[in-house]
Structure 1
């Protein structure tokens, strides 16, 4: 069983912008080596340039098993293991009522947001199962051998769901369906691999100031525009991506070793 004397490794999909970029930057600030993965390799490289620790940029299409497997292989070849992962890649789709929504949009959103998370889990967990458990501080937990911290962890994963994974939202049924699916996948993976020392959780952000939100504003039906008013939120503002990143990194850390199969709602009181 290993101890945590080496630099831990974090993998972030959707790391080229928004919450994914903020999460990679925060992991680096906390001392992690980072694998920044994105469909847009140039954006991933731009994020890489913001990091304070060693890292690599990897192009990945999370809808393709071969691409996800290659991403995990690249991470392990470069850093030896994966301690944490944030599966943040996603797509908002378009906005219409169910009758008017194109079927191909539903398929695309589900492929990226649901199947993409499932594929990432499939290959991330397969790698973590091969890794030795890491104990954060053996001396501190020696008198409590049953605690997760003493037994060690092979890895911790956080998936990106949404506030729309918790309630229905008009004009956006594909996105809601995909984010509800993420929670089901998260809870299933958590119970399947808890005894192997692998934790799996999810975050459910509300509206966050990201490029995805900018695209939402451009395509938003008039009936939904009032929801974008920061004054409609208790704090009088929307979330910053860095605030979501803090939650992701906390869930990945050994500060919450008994937390798995959970979703953290981060919506500023909404």
Structure 2
């Protein structure tokens, strides 16, 4: 298996990059020296994120529920930068707030389409591209005395998807959201097993409440007596997470720091059990 030493700027692809955790992750990747592909269904918001970056990048409009759109996103990334080293599948939606009996079927389909199918499609086309790439050894000297460490052998890519604390437990009136975020964990573990020997790592993050537009929308749906639980008083740390804190976790999972980490989900819960 041919390998190359990474002497060029690595490339990161971020979906949901127009706001919230996705935007913070794109900014952090750029701070770390990555060229960035910022993808969002709202192309204008993706362009706004692009303007915040310190490194080369492109903004791409993508509908993650459509295979043709996801494939075009990956193609655009490769045409511009030649490969994809890391990807963060951050696009998602919260859906409505209703018990199962009252939940509209079409809304269930929409939430599952964006959150679960969207991640599956992104993985499908991101992994297909990574399989075509030569494995890269980013720092041969660091691993020279450990020839079996995967980072020395070289990697083709690393992918992180956004699950949620609600992918770890059921929450009333959010059945499609919970189902979709649980599904992401199953898809992540399956992809990790299937492609580990190909030098592709696949992980997920499970954040609790994070200060994003999605959390604002979610809190507006809640009955008044439940809103406090999702705010600062609901966490031992006395606050919700900042998007930048989740971005740090994503970038760590994509980095050389954890070459043995694949098929995992990292809980980021602020002390809340």
Is the pair's TM-score, using the shorter chain for normalization, greater than 0.5?
A: yes
Q: Is the 8 A contact 2:15 2:90 kept in 1?
A: yes
Given the alignment, which residue of 143, 146, 151 partners 1:144?
A: 146
- Residue equivalent to 2:54: 52
Offset of residue 136 of structure 1: 1.6
- Residue equivalent to 2:33: 31
Q: Is the 8 A contact 1:15 1:88 kept in 2?
A: yes
Q: Output the aligned Cα RMSD.
A: 0.8
1:8-87 pair list within 5 angstroms: 8-87=10-89
Give 5+ residue unaligned stretches, structure 1.
none
Aligned residues: 270
Give 5+ residue unaligned stretches, structure 2.
none
- Residue equivalent to 1:244: 246
Give me the whole-angstrom Cα distance separating, in 1, the residues matched to 2:231 and 2:28: 28
- Residue equivalent to 2:204: 202
Q: What's the secondary structure of 2:39's corresponding residue?
A: strand
- List structure 1 runs of 4+ shifted beyond 3 angstroms: none
Give me the whole-angstrom Cα distance separating, in 2, the residues matched to 1:225 and 1:242: 23
Give me the whole-angstrom Cα distance separating, in 1, the residues matched to 2:210 and 2:157: 27
Provide, for residues 113-169 of structure 1, a one-character-per-residue CA deviation record: whole Å limited to 9, x for no partner. Answer: 000000000000000000000112112322221111110100000000000000000
Q: Is the 8 A contact 2:209 2:231 kept in 1?
A: no
Offset of residue 79 of structure 1: 0.1
Q: Is the 8 A contact 1:24 1:34 kept in 2?
A: yes
Offset of residue 105 of structure 1: 0.9
Q: What's the secondary structure of 1:139's corresponding residue?
A: helix
Q: What's the secondary structure of 2:140's corresponding residue?
A: coil
Give me the whole-angstrom Cα distance separating, in 2, the residues matched to 1:169 and 1:61: 27
- Residue equivalent to 2:134: 132
Q: Is the 8 A contact 2:5 2:137 kept in 1?
A: yes
Give me the whole-angstrom Cα distance separating, in 1, the residues matched to 2:158 and 2:231: 35
Offset of residue 223 of structure 1: 4.6
Give me the whole-angstrom Cα distance separating, in 1, the residues matched to 2:232 and 2:249: 21
| Shift in CA distance, 60/49, structure 1 to aligned 2, threshold 3 Å | same
Q: Is the 8 A contact 1:95 1:221 kept in 2?
A: no
Offset of residue 200 of structure 1: 0.1
Provide, for residues 192-221 of structure 1, a one-character-per-residue CA deviation record: whole Å limited to 9, x for no partner. Answer: 000000000000000000000111122223
- Residue equivalent to 1:221: 223
Offset of residue 236 of structure 1: 0.4
Normalising to structure 2: TM-score of the pair? 0.98
Give me the whole-angstrom Cα distance separating, in 1, the residues matched to 2:114 and 2:229: 25
Q: What's the secondary structure of 1:140's corresponding residue?
A: helix
